[in-house]
Amino acid sequence: MPWKEDRFWDKKTATMYNETAKIFCQKNNIPFIDLTNVLSPGDIEDGLHPNAQGHEKIFQLVKNFLIEEEYIS
């Protein structure tokens, strides 16, 4: 965060949050789409947020999941 240089988002923290969400979803029978290996560094705007290319990759992954699970056709 440019305004708080002592705060940042790293892969370790992102992985921890991802695993927590994944476990929660498994315990509650909620579909979970793991994005940890979907985006490359060129898909990230500021170390955390996807740019247009990253959003497109996420969109395609979610769309394919919804089609495969027959939530949409």
Give me the average pLDDT of each 10-residue run along the chain (73 residues): 60 86 98 90 84 96 96 93
pTM of the model: 0.76
Decide: 53 and 42 in contact? Cβ < 8 Å: yes
Instruction: For residue 50, give the 3-state DSSP assignment.
Output: strand
Can you give the pLDDT at residue 31? Answer: 96
